[in-house]
């Protein structure tokens, strides 16, 4: 059973009971589903098709036969378990649990041949046998076969994990915080500076936290019921990116009232005179609606909340440029299309003569690559998608002098736009190398057929053009903005396609665009003590070409740029 199907089955079967269990807690059905799949999904996803009862499936959700020296907690061995009060009885139960489960899970069949092997983890959330001395009844009475008892025990353990993280009083958790609590459940505590690369490391190289993040995203796309309804994304190869954050509707709605520019949204209610863009987090266009969070008449700044191209922003805006809306409306939230358009204004590529090959070793041009054996991103799991993206980066080898397509010229011309296009193109995501001219778009919008003709109906797209294209057409092709570097990097780590693009103040001057790429064991982003990304992992062509680099220098806030944005694509 594939991951999405398995998670859908789990939510359909247990969603109602889990919803009751998490009521009044900071946890969610999706969080519990994600951890359940990480802990025992490899068992119950196999058992679903065996015509077993739910009771039997729950009974077989046991595992972990690791002994000393790899195990440090009680019981390290059969001898240590048997020596404990009622330990002989517990060993018989633990041994039989292994024998029963191994009938269905081939990976454990070899373990059965060792008469001293037994299970340490019990129930869908793998309550560990280390707690046998304090809570023998749970194990001896086989309470892990009872979903309610299993979940109740797990909620207690999650609250304890929150306490260890220093969050005992939190009444709500963000999605990243849910992942950190899951890591703490797995390994005792989570170090926020390390991101999600923590906890048990799977055979595929992914860490416990990374897997829970992926499964949480998948769970959030599925509505439990019968049958399970998958809301988005429909493609199995799409990264399970979180949906855009909505803005709570209130009666305190304002409209941005500017004439010749945009309104700066700042992280603080002040302007740094030496560098006025230093604390700018977004630029709000005329007509953008915002909700006032705090501030009163006469204040220089209002704290506001809004959604821009699918990105959620909260910050401070100059009150003088905010006009109250007489008839309050809901703040629209852009949701990217699940599939690119097949008629009207569709994707376009530069035509080429039959039989010609566009290579990395060729000078830069308007055609997309078509070398034999090009890598691509088309996998179903985050681990495989990230590995494929790493293979794309290595294959493009942007820093290799022989790859003339990306090398800056002596006249100062750089090719960030071409590298970004190639990265997206190989990842099966559309970011145009050429795009329709305004006249061609007008014809296409009328349903007319337009032939792609260079510099007549299509033009090359540079970084400045791509900044505008993403705002105007990006959501039709699956792109949406996101508001923070942390969300941007987290999306990349799920195998999503992520970019930062900046538009120059002087249109004839070059803007810049870079890919934000998945972290690897060797290449890491930079995070602060709270776990927030302050230096995303970048890959670029430019004045300097590099495959990977994480830096806290926020180049997109340079004085030469008029605006910048973070964009993500599943």
In this prediction, residue 224 carries a pLDDT of 76
Residues 263 and 389 in one domain: no
Structure tokens at 529: 């003590």
Q: Is residue 446 part of a domain?
A: yes
CATH number at residue 545: 3.90.1720
Q: What are phi and psi of 550, to 5 degrees?
A: -115, 125
Are residue 190 and residue 96 in the same domain, yes or no? yes
Out of 301, 324, 347, a domain closes at 324
Averaged in consecutive runs of 10 residues, what is the pLDDT profile of the chain (570 residues)?
A: 95 96 98 98 96 96 95 96 98 98 94 96 97 97 97 98 98 97 98 96 94 96 62 67 92 94 96 91 96 97 98 98 90 95 98 97 98 97 97 98 96 95 98 98 98 98 98 98 98 98 93 98 96 98 98 95 97
* 257 and 211 assigned to the same domain: no
Name the nearest CA neighbour of 154 among 72, 33, 332.
33
pLDDT of amino acid 229: 45
Note the pLDDT tens digit of each residue in 114-151: 999 999 999 999 999 999 999 999 999 999 999 999 99
Taking the C-alpha atoms of residue 198 and residue 502, their distance in angstroms, rounded to an integer, is 33
- Per the domain annotation, does 335 fall within a domain? no
List Cβ neighbours of 291 (8 Å cut-off, separation of 6 or more): 247, 248, 249, 250, 252, 253, 254, 304, 305, 306, 331
What does the alpha-carbon distance between residue 395 and residue 408 come to, in Å, rounded to a whole number? 19
Count of other CB atoms within 10 angstroms of residue 153: 20
pLDDT in tens, 236-280: 789 999 999 999 889 999 999 999 899 999 999 999 988 888 999
Same domain, 189 and 266: no
Tell whether 447 and 478 lie within a shared domain: yes
* Count of domains for the chain: 3
Identify the domain boundary among 324, 341, 361: 324
Tokens of 258: 């500017």
Judge whether 357 lies within some domain.
Answer: no
CA distance linking residue 382 with residue 192, whole number of Å: 21
Q: Could you list the residue range(s) of the whole structural domain that residue 493 is in?
A: 382-569
Q: Are residues 268 and 145 in the same domain?
A: no
| 306 contacts 247 by C-beta, under 8 angstroms | yes
Give the CA distances from residue 152 to residues 19, 186, 235, 248, 337, in Å, rounded to whole numbers and listed in that order.
12, 17, 35, 32, 39
Residue 327's pLDDT is 86
Q: What is the pLDDT of residue 231?
A: 42
Regarding whether 215 and 275 lie in a shared domain, the answer is: no
Domain contains 351: no
| Statement to judge: residues 178 and 275 lie in one domain | no
- Examine residue 347 and state whether it is found in any structural domain, yes or no: no
360 lies in some domain: no
Cβ–Cβ < 8 Å for 358, 331:
no
pLDDT score of 249:
84
DSSP 207-241: BHHHHHHHHHHHHTTEE-SSS-EE-S---TTS--P
Q: Among 283, 305, 324, where does a domain finish?
A: 324
- Inside any domain, residue 539: yes
Number of other CB atoms surrounding residue 386 within 10 Å: 26
Q: Per the domain annotation, does 161 fall within a domain?
A: yes
Whole-model pTM above 0.85? yes
Considering the domain architecture, whether residues 171 and 69 belong to the same structural domain is answered as: yes
Q: Any bridge partners for residue 526, and if so which?
A: 535
Tell me, yes or no, whether 276 and 186 share the same domain: no
One domain, residues 143 and 276: no
């Amino acid at each position: 059973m594939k991951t999405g199907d398995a998670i859908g089955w789990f939510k359909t079967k247990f969603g109602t009971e889990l919803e009751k269990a998490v009521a009044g807690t900071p946890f969610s059905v999706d969080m519990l589903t994600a951890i359940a799949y990480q802990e025992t999904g490899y068992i119950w996803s196999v058992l679903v098709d065996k015509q077993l009862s739910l009771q039997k499936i729950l009974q077989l959700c046991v595992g972990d036969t690791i002994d000393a020296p790899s195990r440090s907690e009680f019981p390290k061995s059969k001898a240590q378990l048997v020596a404990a009060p009622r330990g002989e009885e517990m060993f018989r139960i633990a041994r039989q649990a292994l024998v029963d489960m191994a009938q269905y899970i081939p990976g454990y069949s070899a373990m059965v041949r060792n008469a001293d092997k037994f299970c340490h983890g019990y129930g869908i959330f793998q309550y560990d046998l280390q707690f046998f001395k304090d809570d023998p009844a749970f194990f001896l009475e086989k309470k892990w076969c009872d979903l309610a008892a299993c979940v109740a025990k797990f909620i207690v353990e999650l609250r304890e994990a929150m306490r260890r993280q220093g969050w005992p009083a939190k009444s709500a958790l963000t999605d990243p915080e849910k992942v950190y609590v899951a890591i703490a459940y797995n390994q005792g505590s989570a170090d926020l500076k390390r991101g999600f690369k923590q906890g048990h490391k799977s055979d595929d190289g992914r860490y416990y936290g990374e897997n829970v993040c992926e499964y949480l995203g998948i769970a959030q796309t599925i509505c439990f019921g019968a049958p399970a309804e998958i809301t988005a994304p429909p493609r199995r190869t799409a990264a399970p990116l979180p949906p855009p954050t909505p803005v709570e509707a209130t009666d305190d709605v304002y409209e941005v009232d500017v004439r010749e520019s945009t309104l700066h949204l700042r992280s603080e209610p002040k302007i740094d005179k030496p560098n006025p863009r230093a604390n700018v987090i977004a630029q709000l266009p005329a007509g953008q609606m915002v909700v006032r969070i705090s501030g009163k008449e006469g204040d220089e700044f209002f704290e506001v909340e809004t959604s821009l191209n699918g990105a959620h922003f909260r910050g401070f805006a100059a009150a003088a440029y905010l006009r109250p809306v007489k008839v309050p409306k809901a703040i629209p939230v852009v949701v990217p299309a699940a599939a690119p358009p097949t008629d009207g204004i569709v994707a376009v590529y530069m035509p080429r003569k039959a039989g010609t090959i566009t290579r990395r070793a060729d000078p830069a041009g308007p055609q997309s690559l078509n070398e034999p054996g090009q890598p691509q991103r088309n996998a179903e799991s985050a681990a495989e998608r990230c590995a494929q993206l790493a293979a794309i980066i290595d294959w493009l080898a942007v820093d290799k002098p022989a790859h003339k397509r990306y090398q800056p010229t002596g006249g100062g011309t750089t090719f960030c736009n071409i590298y970004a296009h190639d990265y997206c193109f190989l990842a099966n995501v559309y970011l145009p190398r050429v795009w329709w001219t305004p006249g061609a778009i007008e014809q296409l919008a009328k349903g007319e057929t337009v032939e792609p003709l260079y510099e007549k109906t299509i033009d090359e797209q540079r970084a400045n053009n791509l900044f505008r294209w993403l705002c105007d057409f990006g959501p039709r092709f699956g792109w949406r903005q996101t508001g923070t570097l942390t969300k941007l990097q987290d999306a990349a780590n799920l195998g999503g396609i992520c970019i930062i693009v900046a538009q120059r103040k002087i249109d004839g001057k070059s803007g810049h665009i870079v890919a934000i790429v998945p972290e690897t064991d060797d290449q890491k982003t930079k995070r602060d003590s709270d776990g927030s990304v302050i230096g995303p992992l970048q890959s670029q062509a430019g004045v300097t070409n590099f495959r990977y680099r994480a830096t806290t220098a926020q180049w997109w806030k340079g004085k030469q740029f008029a605006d910048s944005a973070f964009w993500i694509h599943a």
